[in-house]
Amino acid sequence: MRVALIQHRAALITIFIAFVVLVIAIIIGRDAVSASYASYLAAGCTLAHPTNISVCGNTANSFADIPSFTPLVIALRMFPLVIGAFVGAPLVAREMESGTYRFAWTQGVGRTRLLLVTLAMLALIVTPVAVVLGFLLGGWYIHPYAVINIAVGSHWQSGLFTTTWWMTPVWTLFALVLGTFVGAVVKRTVAAIAATAVIVGGILLAIGMYLPRIFGIGAVASSRILLNGMNSGPLNMIASYGQGPAGSWLVRAWYTGPSGRLLSIKAANRVSVHVNSLFESKGGANDPHAPTRWLALHHYTYWVSYQPADHFWILQAVVGLVPLAVAALWVLGTVRIIQHSRS
Amino acid sequence: MNVVESFGLGVSYRGNWALRDCTLAVPEGHIVALVGSNGAGKTTLLHCAVGLATPTTGEVTVLGGIGAGSPDALERVAFVAQDAPLYRHITVRAMLTVAVNLNQHFDRNLAEARLATLDIPLDRRIGRLSGGQQAQLALALALARRPDLLVLDEPLARLDPLARHEVMAVVMSAVADEGLSVIFSSHVVSELERVADYLILMSHGRIQMVGMIDDLLANHVVLSGPADEAERVAELFAVVQSQHAGRQTQFVARIDAPMDFPKDWVAENISLDELVLAYLREPSVSAMSGPLAVSANRAGM
């Protein structure tokens, strides 16, 4: 532990400062939303009963002074990148570049054990930091947003999904190990930092983009959910105001025809337009069952797939275990590289 | 026990052989000088011995058969690399802490005592120490591990004469106190005789000559005589190197036993400097290892 603290003191101080700044920003941001949150609760609106659009929706809209949490989410999403680039990448690269590996790798502890122990020590330092940040942002800070406007503050959204107290440390560890691996390959500190930043940034972006597809895994399909608009295709929205099981994430919608087969996009759009017109021209607003009756009459079925609320942590675990497994491979790869590294 | 043994050792970097066919056995209890021109393979051989380089062919063991670079070997072999690479951004005290944490048997008191003797302040950043002080620090760190074998790669390079003297004095003192074996590479041949008692000469990635320095000096002479008899005399000895100047010829020759020298020829003792230079100037004898190779090689000429 002391070796890691001594050798990486500058990086660790930087992390500590970044941690303090983020915590202060979260506390200040949470304080700013507290008044609005209290007013909202005073109006009788809670997360458990967010369906009263007329009261709670209007009340929520009146809070124009609620600051956006997006900058903080972006900052927290950058945290793994910073750790990977500025802690992981220099770990081996700096030793190789400066030649100090000739000292470090000939000590009694041995190069493999030294690498593994140093990585473990750094992981022990950055993981709690990431857990605390994830908990503060994803749990404590976002909660009022989720209550005031469930569609905005849902933890299913990709930004919040990847910054929970579980995913933040997972991606931080992944980036730390990936940076170390890249450093061992590149053997130049600045180049390793740049390469790690690009790779980790690319992976995090890709995860954000492909998360909707991941949410399709293990999704439940239902023909009883009736959505405004009855559109087909990707939905990627929280089941708010009674449209779907409370707290669930709506993934995708589609139509099936009389034969039970999936309708083509063109046909589905035609049906969708017609169903929508039922809402509008035939008093659908007062008769929400009109579209359902029309669909049943013509043997069409509207399907919606969704992730139930209780799937959230299962998906978190699955999506988090994959990078952890890959990180383990990076560790093995780094060990192999330094074992066969020639001076 | 041999402190370093290699058999058919070869190291290739992208098809270029830095070390080739090195078979070697260095007995314990010596201060071994590893000498050779630039690119001769000295550093590669030392890196193999401490586990920093992986042999492409052959094998290398230390301290009586322990695999070089194995955990057991790392515990008992200390290495000071060329230019003494240490963490320049931390203090000497922090460096000692690092060394304590990286070695099971690190004697911090010993290291601090040595540094105090050398007036190296513990609170100074390593990057702000002079080259000589950094070399001394690296040496103190290595000796505090109480190794059985100390390997030094060019410890005298970049040092002024006074610092050279001080570094080698510390090495000599450690050998006297601890009885450890030392292998060090150097370009500074003139100082070897005073310090080392065993020599390994390398050339073009091969071992050219190995042996006790006293034996090597006793087995070589400088022969001077008339040039018109040079060819005849050359057939009587294993000539390492010949030089012609006008009517005079000078041979560096190897002799296996006391013998009579031809009339009109003068035999003089050879200095270590002359011996090393003679071998380095004759890369043709480098195809075989050891001084015996000279006679075999010359006999075939």
Question: Chain B contact for A104, CB < 8 A?
Answer: yes
pLDDT digits (tens, 9 = 90+) for B62-93: 998 899 999 999 999 999 998 889 999 999 99
Q: Do A105 and B52 touch (CB under 8 A)?
A: yes
Distances in Å between the Cα of B128 and the Cα atoms of A92, A205, B116 are 24, 44, 17
Is residue B78 less than 8 Å (CB to CB) from chain A?
A: yes
pLDDT at residue B175 is higher than 60: yes
Q: Which of B81, B98, B105 sits opposite A102 (nearest CB)?
A: B81
| Cβ-based contacts of B157 with chain A (< 8 Å) | none
At which of B188, B212, B236 does a domain end? B212
Rg (CA), chain A: 25
ipTM value: 0.87
Calpha distance A134→A168 (Å, rounded): 6
Other CB atoms within a 10 A radius of the CB of residue A217 amount to 12
Q: Are residues B95 and B187 in the same domain?
A: yes
Q: What is the pLDDT of residue B257?
A: 74
List the single best residue of B102, B103, B126, B137 to mutate versus A (max A Cβ within 10 A).
Answer: B102
Check whether residue B136 and residue B274 sit in a common domain.
no
Mutation target for A interface from B52, B82, B139, B158: give the one with most A CBs within 10 A. Answer: B52
Predicted confidence at residue B240, as pLDDT, reads 86
- Which residues, numbered 9 to 68 in chain B, qualify as contacts with chain A under a Cβ-Cβ cut-off of 8 Å? 11, 13, 43-44, 47, 50-54
CA of B86: which chain A residue's CA is closest? A100
Judged by CB atoms closer than 8 Å, whether chains meet at A108 and B104 is answered as yes
**Number of residues that this document lists for chain B:** 301
Asked if B99 has any chain A CB less than 8 Å from its own CB, the reply is yes
Q: pLDDT digits over B213-250, tens only?
A: 988 888 888 988 888 888 888 887 788 888 888 888 88
Instruction: Give the gap in angstroms from C-alpha B6 to the nearest C-alpha of chain A.
Output: 18
CA-based torsion, B219, B222, B226, B227: positive or negative = positive
Please give the structure tokens belonging to residue A66. 């609620």
Please answer yes or no on whether B85 and A6 come within 8 Å at the CB atom: no
Q: Which two three-digit tokens encode residue A120?
A: 């473990």
Among all chains, which residue has been given the structure tokens 């978190």? A316
Cβ-nearest to B97 among A6, A108, A343 = A6
Q: For the purposes of burial, counting CB atoms within 10 Å of the CB of B54, is it exposed (0-12), middle (13-18) or buried (19 or more)? A: middle
One domain, residues B20 and B151: yes
pLDDT at A151 over 70: no
Determine which of B72, B74, B105, B122 to mutate to test the interface with A (most A C-beta atoms within 10 Å). Answer: B74
CA dist A295 and B124 (Å) reads: 83
Average pLDDT of chain B to the nearest whole number: 86
B97 vs A266, more confident: B97
Q: Find the CB nearest B74 among A107, A340, A343.
A: A107
Optimal mutation site among A7, A101, A107, interface B, most CBs of chain B within 10 A: A107
Q: Which residues of A touch B101 (CB under 8 A)?
A: 2-3, 109
8 Å CB contact between A93 and A186: yes
Q: What is the DSSP letter of A341?
A: -
Q: What pLDDT does A201 receive? A: 95
Question: CA A179 to CA A165: how far, in whole Å?
Answer: 22
* Long-range CB contacts for residues B211-214, cutoff 8 Å, separation at least 24: B211/B290, B211/B291, B212/B30, B213/B33, B213/B272
How large a percentage of chain A has pLDDT more than 70?
87
Whether B85 and chain A come into contact, CB under 8 Å, resolves to yes
CA dihedral A136, A141, A142, A146 (to 10 degrees): 130
Average pLDDT of span A97-118: 93
CA distance A111 to chain B (A): 9
Amino acid at B191: E
| Beta-bridge mates of residue B91 | B125
Considering only alpha carbons, which residue of chain B is nearest residue A102? Answer: B81
Q: Residue B9 is inside which H or E element, if any?
A: strand B2-13
Smallest CA–CA distance, residue A342 to chain B, in Å, is 5
**A117–B contact, CB cutoff 8 A:** no
Q: Clarify whether residues B166 and B271 are in a common domain.
A: no
Q: What is the DSSP letter of B246?
A: T
Percent of chain B at pLDDT above 70?
A: 94
- If one counts every other C-beta atom within 10 angstroms of the C-beta of residue B8, the result is 13
Query: Dihedral (C-alpha) B159, B161, B162, B164: value to the nearest 10 degrees?
Result: 50
Q: Quote the longest CA-to-CA distance of chain B.
A: 69
For the stretch B98-121, pLDDT in tens is: 999 999 989 999 999 999 988 999
Same domain, B37 and B144: yes
The rounded distance, in Å, linking the Cα atoms of B53 and B49 is: 8
> Closest chain A residue to B18 measured between Cα atoms?
A343
pLDDT in tens, B115-174: 998 899 999 999 999 988 999 999 999 999 999 999 999 887 777 788 888 888 888 888
**Among the partner residues A9, A98, A108, nearest to B145 by beta-carbon distance:** A108
pTM: predicted TM-score of the whole model, two decimal places:
0.85
DSSP A30-93: HHHHHHHHHHHHHTT--TT-TT-IIIIIHHHHT-TTPPPSHHHHHHHHHHHHHHIIIIIHHHHH
Where is the domain boundary, B150, B183, B212?
Answer: B212
Of A102-106, A306-310, B254-258, where does mean pLDDT reach its minimum? Answer: B254-258
On whether both B70 and B154 belong to a single domain, the answer is yes
Run of H or E including A274? helix A265-281
- When pLDDT is averaged across residues A137-155 and rounded to a whole number, the result is 75
Distance between A108 CA and the closest CA of chain B, angstroms:
4
DSSP B53: S
Q: Identify the residue with better confidence: B4 or A32.
A: B4
Looking at the complex, report in whole angstroms how far the Cα of residue B220 sits from the nearest Cα belonging to chain A.
Answer: 36
Compute the nearest-CA separation of B109 from chain A (Å).
18
Q: What type of residue sits at position A318?
A: V
Given B212, B234, B256, which residue is the final one in a domain? B212
A318 or A64: which leads in pLDDT:
A318
pLDDT number for residue B298: 38
State the amino acid at position B104 in one-letter form: Q
Q: Are residues B83 and B189 in the same domain?
A: yes
CB contacts, 8 Å: A102 with chain B: 52, 79, 81-82, 85
In whole angstroms, give the CA distance from residue B249 to residue B161.
35
Whether residue B55 is found in the same domain as residue B201: yes
Give the model's pLDDT for residue A235.
87
> Measured between CB atoms, does A13 come within 8 Å of chain B?
no
Which amino acid does the sequence have at A214? I
Name chain A contacts of B47, Cβ cutoff 8 Å: 343
Q: Give residue-wise pLDDT tens across range A25-76.
A: 888 888 877 877 777 777 776 655 544 556 666 666 655 556 677 888 888 9
Q: Which residue has the higher pLDDT, A150 or B129?
A: B129
**Nearest CB to A106: which of B50, B71, B86?**
B50
CB of B22 closer than 8 Å to CB of B59: no
Is the same domain home to B171 and B245?
no
- Residue contacts between A and B (CB atoms, under 8 Å): 79
Q: How far apart are CA A147 and CA A243, in angstroms?
A: 16
d(CA B233, CA B229): 6
Residues making up chain A, counted from first to last = 343
Query: Is B189 in the same domain as B267?
Result: no
**CA B299 to CA B301: how far, in whole Å?**
6
> Do B229 and B277 lie in a common domain?
yes
The residue type of A137 is: L
The pLDDT of residue A159 is above 60: yes
Mean pLDDT of A237-255: 82
Which CATH number is B42's domain given? 3.40.50.300
User: Residue B237: its pLDDT value, please?
Assistant: 78
3-class secondary-structure state, position B121: coil
Domain match, B242 and B290 both = yes
Full residue range of the structural domain in which residue B280 is found: 219-299
* Alpha-carbon gap: B78 to the closest alpha carbon of chain A (Å): 7
Q: In terms of CA atoms, which chain B residue is nearest residue A112?
A: B71
CA nearest B22: which of B52, B45, B40, B2?
B45
The per-residue pLDDT of chain A, averaged, comes to 84
| Domain total in chain B | 2
